Amino acid sequence: MMSHCGYKKKLYPYCWLLPLFFVIGIVSVNPLLRGIVFSFYGGGVFGGRERFVGAANFISLFKDDLFWLSLRNNLIWVVTCISLEFIFGFLIALLLNQPCVRLKNLYRALILLPWATPPVVAGLIWRYILSSDGPLNTFLRILKLISNPPSWLMEPGYSLAACIGVNVWLGLPFMTVMLLAGLQAIPHDVYEAAEIDGANAFKRFFLITLPMMKSVISTVITLMSIWTFNMFDVVYVLTNGGPGNSSLILSLYGYQNAFAYYQKGYGASIGVISLLILLIPVSIYVRMFFKGVETE
């Protein structure tokens, strides 16, 4: 049996964690639980007070075409954004990691510029650039690349693609910086040894760089997937989900229901579904994190 003193000694460190638990409880757990509770309330904002409706919001959601459309768009949005950010981010990181490249610091600073731009500001700038008579279309016309360029934000086939492009522009710096950090952590003598053994650049990349970057790549992709899935501001500013809901994504649809359509419970249920979907990458990330801790 543990003595009184032993208990005290065991509990002592947790006391220091109490303020942290308190703050996390207030700013993270409380809104999360409230959101989950809200998702079970509804019943018509103009038909009397909101009441407990059980799973009715979720049932309506699964019958809602717009929900499925926004979920589909969301998946396209996440997969395309992450893929493009990863491919371009890796290419830039590899270039910046070359010893022969001069003015590396300048390039790094320039690469970081979009990251320093708030997404709403970036959205407004790009909204202007991508408008029918904006700089991009003027440029395309002058160079005679396209005689009649499309309205990027006003045509269903392009609106989501335009949003993806802007989000890639915003997310690229983080991806590049993280991958560059991963590349720089690989010991140089490994490459030298491989070179002596006759491995060409292609082999060095696939047999040394990629395997040794595995943990960085999986961490950054998991984190970026979570952030991108929840990204809202870019689409809100650029297209607000239009035209004809062609660029509507889940986070925006949830926001619209909760704050514009007077359907707080319905909006919250979209949030709950998003949370459930996000639990997949989150659980992968947590498993990776603990695996890393165990290995250390």
Partner 1 sequence: MMFLLTATAWSAIKLKFYCLAWQPGAVDQVIDIVDEWNENHPDIQVEIVWGTWETSDQYLLTNFAAGTAPDIIHTDAEKFREFGIMGFLEPLNKFLDEEIIKDIPEESWEDCKDDRGYIYGIPWCRESQVIFYNKRLFDRLGINLPHGRVVSWEELVEIAKKVVQLTNGRTWGLLAPLMERFHWTLIEQNNGKVLQTDEKGRWKVEITDQAKEAISFYLSLVIEHKVMPSDVINIDYTSLMQGFLNEKYAMVVFGCWNRRLLSQVKDFEWGLMWLKKGDNMTNAADPQGIGISRTCKHKAEAFEFIRFFTNSKNSAEIAYKDWLFPIRRSALQDPRFSAVENEWDFAYQLLKHAKNVKPPMPGFYTFEWKVLVPTLEKVILGKISLSEAYKHIELKGNELLKQLGLR
Of the pair 44, 118, the CB lying nearest partner 1 is at 44
Rg (CA), the chain: 24
Sign of the alpha-carbon dihedral angle for 261, 37, 237, 245: negative
| Interface positions, 21-80, toward partner 1 (CB under 8 A) | 42-49, 60, 66
Q: Which residues pair with 41 in a beta bridge?
A: 52
Nearest to 230 by CA among 263, 271, 202: 271
Of the pair 155, 233, the CB lying nearest partner 1 is at 155
End-to-end CA gap in the chain:
33
Q: What is the closest distance, in whole angstroms, from the C-beta atom of residue 147 to partner 1 in the complex?
A: 14
Two tokens, residue 127: 């909204």
Using CB under 8 A, count the residues that bind partner 1: 33
243 contributes a contact to partner 1 by CB under 8 A: yes
Q: What is the closest distance, in whole angstroms, from the C-beta atom of residue 167 to partner 1 in the complex?
A: 18
156 contributes a contact to partner 1 by CB under 8 A: yes
Evaluate the omega torsion of the peptide bond into residue 243 and state whether it is cis, within 30 degrees of 0. yes
Of the pair 97, 246, the CB lying nearest partner 1 is at 246
Of the pair 151, 215, the CB lying nearest partner 1 is at 151
Query: Are 269 and 57 in contact, with CB atoms under 8 Å apart?
Result: yes
* Helix, strand, or coil (residue 7): helix
Question: Which span sits near partner 1 by CB under 8 A: 131-139, 176-184, 211-219, 223-231?
Answer: 131-139
In the complex, the residues that contact partner 1 under the rule CB under 8 A are 42-49, 60, 66, 127, 131-133, 151, 153-156, 239-240, 242-245, 256, 259-264, 266
